[in-house]
Amino acid sequence: MTLVEVRTPAQLDAFVNLPWKLYAEDHNWVPPLRKEVKKLLDHVHHPFWQHAHGTLFLAEQGGEPVGRISAQVDDNYNSLWKEKLGSFGFFECIEDQPVADALFSAATDWVRARGMNVLRGPMSPSSNDEWGLLVKGFDRPPVVMMPYNPPYYRKLVETAGFHKAKDLLAFMRYAVKPIPDRFLDLARKLKENRHISVRPVNLKDLKHEMPVVKELYNESWQKNWGFSPMTDAEMDLMAEQLKTFAVPEMILLAFYDGEPAGLSITLPDINQLLRRLNGKLGLVGMLKFLYYRRKINGSRALVFGFKERYRRLGLPVLLFHETAQYMQSKGYRWCELSWNLEDNRLINDFDRELGGKVYKRYRVFEKAV
């Protein structure tokens, strides 16, 4: 086995293409768009790398790629939390412990050489992207912007010396499950409250909408474990990406006396389309996209964020109720509520009372370096 740091376009292609080899027989794997993966790894143009630095490693046997990993340091995260954290991501590997050990050793050495004292992951490349290792719920494909991996990855990671840092929960809620009466009553009262207003985001005027979204996102989430602040450039890029498939009626803004108070983002499960494209969006892919997007019947409740001073008003109930009503009218059958920190009792109890059940669990690992 040889381990190389990715330097050339050919090595980058091998890094990006490795999952197609490893998941060839796994019907639950969802191929990402290759060009989007390359954009995320582009240290020159992607805004994440304006405040972070990292590298990629590729393991080969007999000239064939058999494993990969990234190592990175997010300066914005470390500045916010006063930590010296390095992270690994994009981990893929054959079922071979020596190969995995070599990859983790390379990532460990790289972050240690830059003064870090903890290695955490998987983060591909941050908690704002795909985060965590799937440890429960391998029987269904992942939904949009959630990771997926074979069961044996957990053993590879733990044997390499990592331990659990935190679990992330994904709840499944089916549309046939009625919203509890007390939530319906509360939603009605909130709609009648003259101080409170709710409206969809205007995707055609993101220049004026994004400052509100940024304010709500960063203020609502900044105290959450693992939170990594997003820059304006990152938020703008995310908005442009989501605009291609997001539905305005599923992205809601709540106001109290005109002051931004809360935000909810629910997305159609675009993975139901990506499974049919095999990583390419050419002419045939575009035709498939336009045809099958009408057949999407699932969604993911991605963001529920509220300013601290408005969190006792019941706004999550109102925003979920409005979103659920719209989705039911459009034939959505289910919604994944994810991801939730395992120790966030308030949101986990809320999701359970809505009828959601934990059906997938993701684990964030770490070790001292």
pLDDT in tens, 237-246: 988 888 888 9
- The answer to whether residues 121 and 199 belong to one domain is no
Same domain, 57 and 194: no
Strand 118-121 relative to strand 85-93: parallel, antiparallel, unpaired? parallel
Q: Is residue 86 domain-resident?
A: yes
Residue 30's pLDDT is 97
CA-nearest of 94, 102, 98, 104 to 157 is 104
10 and 113 belong to one structural domain? yes
Q: For the beta carbon of residue 84, count every other beta carbon within 10 angstroms.
A: 15
Do 253 and 180 fall into the same domain?
yes
Tell me whether residue 228 is in a domain.
yes
| Domain end (from 167, 187, 213) | 167
What tokens were used for 164?
Answer: 């659990």
Beta strands in 234-309 (DSSP E): 251-256, 259-268, 298-306
Of the CA atoms within 13 Å of residue 226, those in its CB half-sphere come to 28
Query: For position 229, what pLDDT does the model report?
Result: 86
In a domain, 305, yes or no: yes
Do 118 and 185 lie in one domain? The reply is: no
Q: Are 188 and 328 members of one domain? A: yes
Give the list of residues 6+ apart from residue 135 with CB closer than 8 angstroms, or none: 154, 167, 361, 362, 363
Q: Which residue has the tokens 């994944």?
A: 336
Instruction: Determine contact, residues 83/102, Cβ cutoff 8 Å.
Output: no
- Report if residue 368 sits inside a domain: no
Asked if residue 211 and residue 83 are part of one domain, the reply reads no
Domain boundary among 167, 202, 228: 167
Residue 34 within any structural domain of the chain: yes
Instruction: Return the pLDDT at 351.
Output: 96
- Spatial separation of the C-alpha atoms in residues 37 and 42, rounded to whole Å: 9
Spans of the chain, pLDDT less than 50: none
- Clarify whether residues 116 and 261 are in a common domain: no
> Residue 327 sits in a domain of what CATH number?
3.40.630.30
- Residue 367: inside a domain: no
Which DSSP symbol is given to 219? H
Residues 178 and 124 occupy one common structural domain: no
| Residue 249 neighbours by CB under 8 Å, 6+ apart | 200, 323, 326
Rounded CA-CA distance 264/94 in Å is 38
Among 118, 148, 167, identify where a domain stops.
Answer: 167
Looking at residue 356, its pLDDT comes to 97
Q: Give me the pLDDT at residue 283, please.
A: 74
* CA-angle at 362, arms to 359 and 367, nearest 5°: 160
Together in a domain, 185 and 119: no
Who's near 78: CB < 8 A, 6+ residues apart? Answer: 84, 85
Please give the Cα distance from 29 to 71 (Å, whole number).
23
pLDDT of residue 281: 83
Q: How many domains does the chain have?
A: 2
Asked if 191 and 311 sit in the same domain, the reply is yes
State the CB neighbour count (10 A cutoff) for residue 32: 16
**pTM for the whole thing?**
0.95
Do 181 and 156 fall within a single domain?
A: no
Domain ranges, residue 300: 173-362
> Does residue 369 lie within any of the structural domains?
no
